[in-house]
Amino acid sequence: MSYTQRFSNNYKLESIGGAGTVEIEATSLTVTGNLIVAGDTTEVNSTNLAITDKTIVLNKGELGAGVTSPVHSGIEIERGTATNVGLRYNDTSDAWELTNDGATWANVLSGASVGILNVVEDLSPQLGGPLDVNGQTITSASNGDIIIDPNGSGQLKINHEVSLQNQGSDPSSTASYNKLYAKTPGNGGSGVFFVNSTSSDELVSKTKAMVFALIF
């Protein structure tokens, strides 16, 4: 049987002495207006919580310049007997932080206090594993050189064949460098050429070298 209680002003349920508990047992509870909870703690003991709003506001009502007392605000995940983890914004360092042990917090983005937004901002980048170019090209802008410079006695090692694209013209020399490049094979038969500050020529193939030896 349906039951409707109408009132024209405020309606208040209050336990005597303020220490009691009000319980509502029903399959569902619908609040058609705004729900304001004025206590210190609100617990939702639901298995799943679905929120339609696209934005969740934390630290609402802050009166200071930033997040104050404490200086961070975020989300914590309880993990039972394991340590909790979380994500928070630290207003002292102006950075997002995360923790995997519940005690040590690290910036989500390393580098400057606001984090790195572009790779170019990291002045000492390091790879944590092999670099997969994923079919892309490593290139430079504005005719800039690409320099591979092993440290100290380190060497540049190439584990597979090197393919040199044929050039339409001979490149100019660069001081203190020997340039290797490919072009349509000439008298040397190799199609691999070099140029330095004193000379330029084609590397001679084994077959051509034997022919030249017989002739000369």
Q: What is the pLDDT of residue 12?
A: 83
- The full set of domain ranges for the chain reads 163-216
* Integer Cα distance of 90 and 117 in angstroms: 18
- Taking only the tens of pLDDT, the chain with its 216 residues reads 788 888 888 888 888 776 778 888 888 888 888 888 888 888 888 888 888 889 999 998 899 999 998 999 999 999 999 999 999 999 998 889 999 998 999 888 654 445 566 778 788 888 889 999 999 999 998 999 999 999 999 999 999 999 999 999 999 999 999 999 999 999 999 999 999 999 999 999 999 889 888 887
180: β partners: 194
The length of the chain, given as a count of residues: 216
Q: Contact at 8 Å (CB) between 112 and 121? A: yes
Place of tokens 């508990």: 21
Q: Are 178 and 165 in contact (CB under 8 A)?
A: no
d(CA 106, CA 98): 6
| SS3 state of residue 18 | helix
Residues linked to residue 195 through DSSP beta bridges, in sequence order: 179, 200
**Three-state DSSP class for residue 200:** strand
Residue 16: strand, helix, or coil: helix
Q: Would you state the pLDDT for residue 159?
A: 96
Please tell me the predicted confidence (pLDDT) of residue 29. 86
HSE-CB at 154 with a 13 A cutoff on CA atoms is 7
Q: Say if CB 203 and CB 193 are below 8 A apart.
A: yes
Is residue 72 within 8 A of residue 91, CB to CB? The reply is: yes
- pTM of the prediction? 0.49
pLDDT at 123: 83
